[in-house]
Amino acid sequence: MTTLTLLPLPIIALGIFFILRFWHALDLLGFRGEVLRRDSSLATADLVAICTGSAFIVGTIYGLANDTSPLLLCAVSVGGLPLFAHLYARTNHATTWAATRIEALRTVAALRLISAAELAYALRVLDSLERPEPLNTLAGQQRAQQAVREER
């Protein structure tokens, strides 16, 4: 029973290490502030995952040191793994140092692409609202044809 209790501990500890290393790589590259500004839920999910994993590690170690029921220890330890895995899976943290930096850059690039796509959509909507006459009228079609001729 003790082996089953101790099994999730290194997995959770490695997961916490990978999360911390991801944020350290963002900090080294200088993008931590930008990522926090663009998607704060990413940091929140990682912080909750770290707190959850740490609580289960401390609870298991405390239970082993104080001779708690092995069944209770097994339930606490194994119960923490799915919750931590669910929170950890929200972001794709790499397992090597080089891949961690690449993943940090991919995160920044994805957030910038999302922002650019949102901006392009907003500009299209504003442009469609600023037209003096709709394109389904004769005047609107003539204006559109004239704009196409001017571009050629």
pLDDT tens digits for range 27-55: 988 889 999 998 888 888 889 888 888 88
- Cα separation, 135 vs 152, whole angstroms: 20
Three-state secondary-structure class, residue 60: helix
What share of the chain in percent tops pLDDT 90? Answer: 7
Q: Are 5 and 73 in contact (CB under 8 A)?
A: yes
Residue whose C-alpha is closest to residue 9's, from 57, 43, 47 = 57
Give the side-chain half-sphere CA count within 13 A for 38.
16
Grade residue 152 by pLDDT with cuts at 50, 70 and 90.
Answer: low
The reported pTM is 0.69
Query: In the prediction, which pLDDT does 137 show?
Result: 67
Q: For residue 115, how many other CB atoms are within 10 A of its CB? A: 12
Q: Is the pLDDT of residue 77 over 70?
A: no
Q: Cβ neighbours of residue 66 under 8 Å, at least 6 residues apart?
A: none
